[in-house]
Amino acid sequence: MEEPGKFVTALRLALRGEVIGQGDAGYEKARAVYNGMIQRRPAAIARVADVADVIACVKAARMAGVTVAVRGGGHNAGGLGTVDGGLVIDLGRLRGIRVDAPARTVRVEGGATWGDVDHATHAFGLAVPSGFISTTGVGGLALGGGSGYLTRSCGLTIDNLIGADVVLADGRVVTASRDEHADLFWALRGGGGNFGIVASFLFRAHPVSTIVGGPTFWALEQAEDALRAFQELILTAPEELGGFFAFTMVPPVPPFPEALHGRKVSAVVWCHNGKQDAFDRIVKPLISAVPPLLHAPHELPFPALQSFFDPLYPPGLQWYWRADFMPKLSDEAIREHARHGATLPTPHSTMHLYPLNGAAARIGATDTAYRHREALWSQVIVGVDPSPAKADDLRKWTIGYHEALHPYSTGAAYVNFMMDEGNERIRATYGANYERLQIVKRAYDPDNFFHVNQNIPPAP
């Protein structure tokens, strides 16, 4: 950009929303993303007020040759919601939601968080399958796939996408669905932010209201037995049972018992979309076989479980991520997990294994851009701490753990858990769908205008 001042002034005249340039009050706050390890300095952040503003930003950036980053919730591991020297189109003001209860559909604007969606849908006894924390953006999570508590029973977030209104790289707006721009609709379901800016999503919602949720903790010495038994349970359990396996440190706060505060444990955080007695019956064999330190799941509103981790993980912590898709874990892989899980370097660091079987596994590998329908687990290892001085330790621990488990993986990883890991990793992840994604990219963004993402360059 030759004259950033001129570009920012012109943008201010064109938009209803706010444009914050370097040197403006509020710039430091506006440039920040969720991962404190990512520190970038865009030329400007446009807090768009409506779709017309989004179109104006795209056209202005294209004319001026300015690189654009699109920000939904700003949670992305690698900081893809920001860019040095470019324009951040911040969708954070676009969070309108409309629930059509009889039709069981929900229209969600592109800058909403999952907490916004849960709040709106819970009033109608409904929920859209999403992730495990309510502050994550709908935009990034939905476009990458979206796995969470309801994956086994209702599929991934993308499996519940009915349509999307998209601002394309030339400023046009199209609706993508099974009937309109079907190639774009296919690519949006897993292809990330490569194809345009989604102004609004239309999702299918499911009857989910009061669930049984909460943690079970086991001592580290029981980790191998607990993980093996959880895997066996999850392979055959009714699909209403969701949840994930973790290594974690018990937070030193109520409601956790004082005796466990700060203790490293292996855990399952459960979400059963059903009654307490049914849940108790399903998990009884596991609890009897591997007696836990604490078993606390109880009936609670779904949004309460969704926001359970929010206070533990405020914005601005240092996060270092590594992930893989895993088939059924062998005994050796479980042993490696127990070995590395015991060495969590900080209280916030963790490892999660999210089950992907059930409804999500019934979709074909080429039916959506996301193709990992055969993997049993989505595994993520994150070194996390408030202090930047710990960044190297977090990196070392995460990479060491990841390298030990990677040989047991499918060779691919969930795009939304990746940092900047290079094009080969992206190619491996999309596999046979990669070339088709390149063809769709050429049709909708031939100049690779949207390239601040896990980038899929257009087909030559």
CA distance 337 to 247: 9
Question: Please, what is the minimum distance in Å from the beta carbon of residue 49 to ligand FAD?
Answer: 15
Q: Which residue, 252 or 315, is less far from ligand FAD as judged by CB?
A: 315
Contact by Cβ (8 Å): 249, 262: yes
Q: Which residue, 218 or 417, is less far from ligand FAD as judged by CB?
A: 417
Question: Please, what is the minimum distance in Å from the beta carbon of residue 48 to ligand FAD?
Answer: 11
Question: Please, what is the minimum distance in Å from the beta carbon of residue 380 to ligand FAD?
Answer: 8
Q: Give the chain's end-to-end CA distance (angstroms, integer).
A: 27
Q: Are strands 44-47 and 87-90 parallel, antiparallel or unpaired?
A: parallel
Contact by Cβ (8 Å): 406, 423: no
Question: Please, what is the minimum distance in Å from the beta carbon of residue 100 to ligand FAD?
Answer: 20
CA distance 192 to 142: 8
Task: Please name the residue ranges forming H helices in 84-177.
Answer: 114-122, 138-144, 151-154
Q: Which residue, 71 or 322, is less far from ligand FAD as judged by CB?
A: 71
CB atoms within 10 A of CB 139: 30
CA distance 74 to 315: 10
**Single-letter residue type at 211:** I
CA distance 440 to 414: 20
Question: Please, what is the minimum distance in Å from the beta carbon of residue 386 to ligand FAD?
Answer: 14
Q: What are phi and psi of 147, to 5 degrees?
A: -115, 145
Question: Burial code of 284-297, b = ≥16 C-beta within 10 A, e = fewer?
Answer: eebeeebebbbbeb
Q: Which residue, 198 or 237, is less far from ligand FAD as judged by CB?
A: 198
Question: Please, what is the minimum distance in Å from the beta carbon of residue 110 to ligand FAD?
Answer: 3
Q: Which residue, 203 or 222, is less far from ligand FAD as judged by CB?
A: 203
Q: List the structure tokens of 278.
A: 């049914």
Residues near ligand FAD (CB under 6 A) are 34, 70-77, 80-81, 91, 110, 131-133, 136-137, 139-141, 143-148, 192-193, 197-198, 313, 416, 453
Q: Which residue, 378 or 409, is less far from ligand FAD as judged by CB?
A: 378
CA distance 383 to 320: 5
Q: Which residue, 129 or 297, is less far from ligand FAD as judged by CB?
A: 129
CA distance 110 to 197: 8
Question: Please, what is the minimum distance in Å from the beta carbon of residue 315 to ligand FAD?
Answer: 9
Question: Please, what is the minimum distance in Å from the beta carbon of residue 288 to ligand FAD?
Answer: 29
Contact by Cβ (8 Å): 408, 326: yes
Q: Which residue, 292 or 401, is less far from ligand FAD as judged by CB?
A: 401
